[in-house]
């Protein structure tokens, strides 16, 4: 007997439990993303008008990635409905590029994962978030065909015209430090942004104009002499010319050191010092004086740059920022290790960082980190203030909630006019209460999907196409559940032992 034959008998056109990962689950993305929620959804999502931080711990398969996708989808809809007060979405869920570039800067003996992560600091997280945010914003200002990030919306020409020269300067400085698009050359994209913003570096060209004017004037005076070649053989014309170019050379030297500082201290980037120096030459001394730059190992400059980024977003129609943090256990340097996850995450657990006005961080974290939080000292709690971060210690699912999830997926895959329920698939002796009690032991949606798929396979393998049976028996249900729970317990013991 085929699974599809069994499902079609109940008015189900596709297997609702075939996929286990929300990232690649069409049933969830096309249907359940707007109808199947965890009971704590409202606390995690909050109010887009006032973005707030939420710290969520959940075991594998509990729906952390599904919640991230739901938040992004709902924020996208909110942005479409409120074009003047949108939320700027930053999905900080792929750590590999940042960790790889960070590790490349370390010596070979310091590239062991534990040593790499021991040197990771809060400002590295801030640099990564700014890199994602600035690249997404520049994509939209330049109207690239496939901008990074989803659900943010476009930036209108009218809003771009609202940027004054100081704000244009701020965006260009942020782009020089953090724009990381690979679609164009670094310099070409920056100059395209400069022209888009109408920023013409006239002041910055003053020293070059002075050098050129002194050179031309000196050569003109020499050409008027009786023996110009004798004059050119003397040192003084060249000293005068060199003096005219001295301000330009001094500026180049200063910009080189600024560029070198940025390249050395933005440790998750791969700036070329020469190209960055050339871009910084487009700013005059007064335009860079006193401006925060990420050229030191400290958070102060990054907080100021985040504030500038927020100011730019407000002018461009974004009232707040939502940062979605997920998949902390997936980078290859971490490889599922709770100790490595702790080393990467702990610098981010800082109340000053997490409670910035206008920014909400949604930290969707593996449950393996919860015991480390419980064992921390008073100093950690004073710094992190997790009591103020809408913390959810465990993303738990009741049997009733899982039963609703199963029915929601069945309805999503139902044929037109059909309304199948989970209880319809089983013998009447497996009533709704027994199903709910059984699902409670499975704990999370991923185990629910795996168990149901296994039950379908076991039932269909026990019957032929010629003599089909349309209800899963109580005996098969109980035996399949008992076997799955034994395997689940063994897996959990292996995780704890690891």
Give the model confidence (pLDDT) of 313-366 as tens digits: 999 999 999 999 999 999 999 988 999 999 999 999 999 999 999 999 999 999
Q: Residue 280 to residues 90, 287, 296: CA-CA distances in angstroms?
A: 27, 10, 17
192 and 77 share one domain: yes
**Last residue of a domain, which of 364, 392, 420?**
392
Average pLDDT of 100-114? 84
Q: Which residue has the tokens 């199963």?
A: 406
420 and 463 share one domain: yes
Q: Is 336 left (phi over 0), alpha (psi -120 to 50) or beta?
A: left
Average pLDDT of 119-138? 96
Kindly state whether residue 224 falls inside one of the protein's structural domains.
yes
pLDDT band at 195 (very low <50, low <70, confident <90, very high): very high
Kindly state whether residue 43 falls inside one of the protein's structural domains.
no
179 and 327 share one domain: yes
Nearest CA among 24, 157, 137 for reference residue 89: 137
**Last residue of a domain, which of 349, 365, 392?**
392
Distance, in Å, from the CA atom of 85 to the CA atom of 334, rounded to the nearest integer, reads 37
Distance, in Å, from the CA atom of 100 to the CA atom of 331, rounded to the nearest integer, reads 10
Kindly state whether residue 71 falls inside one of the protein's structural domains.
yes
Distance, in Å, from the CA atom of 414 to the CA atom of 407, rounded to the nearest integer, reads 10
245 and 311 share one domain: no
| Per-residue model confidence as pLDDT tens digits over 19-55 | 888 888 888 888 888 778 888 999 999 999 999 999 9
| Per-residue model confidence as pLDDT tens digits over 420-472 | 999 999 999 999 999 999 999 999 999 999 999 999 999 999 999 888 999 99
Burial category of 396 from C-beta neighbours within 10 Å (exposed 0-12, middle 13-18, buried 19 and up): middle
Residue 78 near residue 64 (C-beta atoms within 8 A): no
Kindly state whether residue 249 falls inside one of the protein's structural domains.
yes
Mean pLDDT of the chain: 90
Q: Which residue has the tokens 């730019």?
A: 312
Residue 210 above 60 pLDDT? yes
Distance, in Å, from the CA atom of 32 to the CA atom of 13, rounded to the nearest integer, reads 16
171 and 312 share one domain: yes
pLDDT band at 145 (very low <50, low <70, confident <90, very high): confident
Residue 118 near residue 349 (C-beta atoms within 8 A): no
Distance, in Å, from the CA atom of 80 to the CA atom of 85, rounded to the nearest integer, reads 10
% the chain with pLDDT above 90: 67
Residue 406 near residue 28 (C-beta atoms within 8 A): no
67 and 211 share one domain: no
pLDDT band at 494 (very low <50, low <70, confident <90, very high): low
State the pairing for strand pair 359-366/391-392.
unpaired
Q: Is 360 left (phi over 0), alpha (psi -120 to 50) or beta?
A: beta
346 and 474 share one domain: no
Kindly state whether residue 113 falls inside one of the protein's structural domains.
yes
- Radius of gyration over alpha carbons of the chain, in Å? 30
367 and 483 share one domain: no
Contacts of 90 (CB under 8 A, 6+ apart): 129, 132, 133, 136, 149, 321, 322, 323, 324
Burial category of 150 from C-beta neighbours within 10 Å (exposed 0-12, middle 13-18, buried 19 and up): middle
Kindly state whether residue 25 falls inside one of the protein's structural domains.
no
Tokens of 481: 């559940």
Kindly state whether residue 34 falls inside one of the protein's structural domains.
no
195 and 226 share one domain: no
Kindly state whether residue 289 falls inside one of the protein's structural domains.
no
78 and 153 share one domain: yes
Tokens of 163: 């940027």
Q: Which residues pair with 54 in a beta bridge?
A: 362
Residue 238 above 80 pLDDT? no
**Last residue of a domain, which of 281, 308, 342?**
281
How many CB atoms are located within 10 Å of the residue 274 CB?
A: 11
Tokens of 95: 């750590």
Residue 374 above 80 pLDDT? yes
Between 171 and 146, the higher pLDDT residue: 171
319 and 457 share one domain: no
Q: Edge-to-edge strands of the sheet including 359-366?
A: 86-92, 318-325, 359-366, 54-58, 391-392
Sign of the Cα torsion 368, 371, 373, 376 reads negative
pLDDT band at 223 (very low <50, low <70, confident <90, very high): confident
Distance, in Å, from the CA atom of 81 to the CA atom of 85, rounded to the nearest integer, reads 9
- The residue count of the chain comes to 498
Average pLDDT of 85-91? 94
Q: Where are the alpha helices (DSSP H) in 156-227?
A: 157-161, 165-178, 186-197, 206-223
pLDDT of amino acid 214: 82
Residue 173 above 60 pLDDT? yes
Please work out, in degrees rounded to the nearest 5, the angle formed at the alpha carbon of residue 281 by the alpha carbons of 127 and 274: 65
pLDDT of amino acid 495: 57
Average pLDDT of 115-131? 95
pLDDT band at 496 (very low <50, low <70, confident <90, very high): low
pLDDT of amino acid 471: 94
Which pTM was predicted? 0.91
Number of domains in the chain: 3
Domain range enclosing 424:
3-17+397-497
Tokens of 277: 């120096």
341 and 442 share one domain: no
Question: Which secondary-structure segment (H or E) carries 228?
Answer: helix 228-233
């Amino acid at each position: 007997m085929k699974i599809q034959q069994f499902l079609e008998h109940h008015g189900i056109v596709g297997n609702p439990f075939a996929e286990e990962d929300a990232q690649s689950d069409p049933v969830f993305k096309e249907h359940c993303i707007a109808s199947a929620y965890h009971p704590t959804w409202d606390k995690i999502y909050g109010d887009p008008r006032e973005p707030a931080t939420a710290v969520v711990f959940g075991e594998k398969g509990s729906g952390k990635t599904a919640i991230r996708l739901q938040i992004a989808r709902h924020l996208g809809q909110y942005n479409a409905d409120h074009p003047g007060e949108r939320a700027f979405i930053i999905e900080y869920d792929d750590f590999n590029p940042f960790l790889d570039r960070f590790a490349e800067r370390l010596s070979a003996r310091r590239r062991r994962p534990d040593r790499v992560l021991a040197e990771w600091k809060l400002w590295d997280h801030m640099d990564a978030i700014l890199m994602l945010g600035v690249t997404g914003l520049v994509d939209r200002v330049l109207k690239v065909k496939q901008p990074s990030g989803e659900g943010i919306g476009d930036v209108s020409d009218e809003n771009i015209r609202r940027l004054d020269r100081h704000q244009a300067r701020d965006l260009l400085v942020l782009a020089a430090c953090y724009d990381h698009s690979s679609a164009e050359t670094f310099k070409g994209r920056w100059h395209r942004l400069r022209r888009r913003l109408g920023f013409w570096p006239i002041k910055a060209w003053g020293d070059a104009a002075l050098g050129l004017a002194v050179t031309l004037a000196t050569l003109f005076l020499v050409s008027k002499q009786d023996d110009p070649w004798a004059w050119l053989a003397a040192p003084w014309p060249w000293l005068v010319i060199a003096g005219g170019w001295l301000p330009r050379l001094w500026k180049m030297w200063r910009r080189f050191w600024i560029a070198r500082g940025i390249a050395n201290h933005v440790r998750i980037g791969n700036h070329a010092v020469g190209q960055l120096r050339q871009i910084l030459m487009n700013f005059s001394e007064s335009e860079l004086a006193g401006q925060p730059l990420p050229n030191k190992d400290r958070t102060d400059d990054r907080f100021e740059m985040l504030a500038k980024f927020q100011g730019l977003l407000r002018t461009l129609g974004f009232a707040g920022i939502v940062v979605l943090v997920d998949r902390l256990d997936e980078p290859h340097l971490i490889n599922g290790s709770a100790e490595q996850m702790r080393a990467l995450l702990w610098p981010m657990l800082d109340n000053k960082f997490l409670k910035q006005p206008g920014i909400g961080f949604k930290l969707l974290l593996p449950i393996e980190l919860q015991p480390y939080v419980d064992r921390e000292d008073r100093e950690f709690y004073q710094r992190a203030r997790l009591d103020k971060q809408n913390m959810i210690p465990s993303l738990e699912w009741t049997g009733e909630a899982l039963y609703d999830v199963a029915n929601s997926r069945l309805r999503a895959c139902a044929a037109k006019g059909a309304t199948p329920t989970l209880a319809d698939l089983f013998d009447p002796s497996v009533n709704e209460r027994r199903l709910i009690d059984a699902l409670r032991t499975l704990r999370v949606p991923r185990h629910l999907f795996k168990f149901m798929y296994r039950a379908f396979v076991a039932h269909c393998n026990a019957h032929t196409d010629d003599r089909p049976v349309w209800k899963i028996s109580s005996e098969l249900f109980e035996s399949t559940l008992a076997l799955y729970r034994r395997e689940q317990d063994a897996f959990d013991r292996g995780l704890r032992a690891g």
